[in-house]
Amino acid sequence: MDLTHILAFNLALAAAIASPGPAFLISVKTTLTAGRRAGLAVGAGLGLMAALWTLAALMGLEVIFTAFPWAYVAVKTIGALYLMYVAFGMWQGAREPLAPTDVKPAHHAFWQGLMINLMNPKSVLFAAAVLVVIFPANMTLLEKGFIFANHLVIELIFYSLLAFGMSTATARAAYLRAKVYLDRIAAVVLSALGLRLLFGK
């Protein structure tokens, strides 16, 4: 493993993180509604679980999902239902004004971020595919640990920048003006992603 492998992995990772998916939507929504601290916390949960999926792929967990398809289907189904549950809550609360009592504590945001990525088994399959293409076979345990740490750092940097950017007074004011529409759009997108996860291969 050398620097070119890490650079290639980081480019693929940056493209995956920035793509509009449930993790990105939850990060933005949490920061806008609950503030920077909660945004940083949800990003930490998302990033940690994503990096752990990469570590799982490095350790060969995708082989288990391939050997036992029911395990993959079970995790995928629970994940899809969880996404739709979160979407339902967004839709219901779209017309409710944002009050200080509605703000969720940072530890709740962290666990929500962790759960969003935990319930997406496609992450380990994506990681496995990227790792096979980019990195050489028979890497040492130290090299695998470095890839995990590198992934975690990239995730934390991205979500921290997103939290700082979306927690500005301008961003929050714009969100509050269009809260009903933005919440319902986010709910529809999350539901669609949940259905895609549920019925996709």
Model confidence at 166: pLDDT above 80: yes
Q: What is the mean pLDDT of the chain?
A: 80
Tokens 């995956």 map to which residue?
A: 16
pLDDT over 70 at 99, yes or no = no
Q: How many Cα atoms are found within 13 Å in the side-chain-facing hemisphere of 12?
A: 19
What is the model's pLDDT at position 53?
A: 87
State pTM to two decimals.
0.75
User: What whole-number distance in Å separates Cα of residue 87 and Cα of residue 96?
Assistant: 15
CA 30, 32, 33, 36 torsion: positive or negative?
Answer: positive
Give me the pLDDT at residue 101, please: 41
CA angle 99, 104, 106 (to 5 degrees): 135
**Span 122-161, pLDDT tens digits:** 666 677 777 767 788 778 889 889 999 999 999 999 999 9
What's residue 103's pLDDT? 52
Predicted pLDDT of residue 61: 65
